[in-house]
Amino acid sequence: MTAQDWAALAVAISTLIGSFALMIRWMVHHYLQELKQNGGSSIKDQVNRLEARVDQIYIFLNNRD
């Protein structure tokens, strides 16, 4: 292989690694956004609503006894 072939291979590998790193960064950013409260549509908000409903069910069941 010539020096030009080695350089092309190095550029191709670094491009693939860089693309992979950016893809992982983008995914982590969007997953972390789902864990923040945003006024009702995030997973965190939905879990909080479900927890409140479960608490109400427990209170209702304990009062029936």
Q: Domain range for residue 17?
A: 1-34
Any idea which residue has 């992982």 for tokens? 24
Number of domains in the chain: 2
pTM of the model: 0.56
Verify that 29 and 42 share a domain, yes or no.
no
Pairwise CA distance, residues 10 & 21, whole Å: 16
Verify that 9 and 30 share a domain, yes or no.
yes
Verify that 26 and 2 share a domain, yes or no.
yes
DSSP per residue over 4-49, as a string? Answer: HHHHHHHHHHHHHHHHHHHHHHHHHHHHHHHTS--SSSSHHHHHHH
Verify that 1 and 22 share a domain, yes or no.
yes
Per-residue confidence in pLDDT tens, the chain, 65 aa? 899 999 999 999 999 999 999 999 999 999 888 777 777 778 888 888 999 999 999 999 988 76
Verify that 27 and 43 share a domain, yes or no.
no
Q: Exposure of 50 by Cβ count < 10 A (0-12 exposed, 13-18 middle, 19+ buried)?
A: exposed
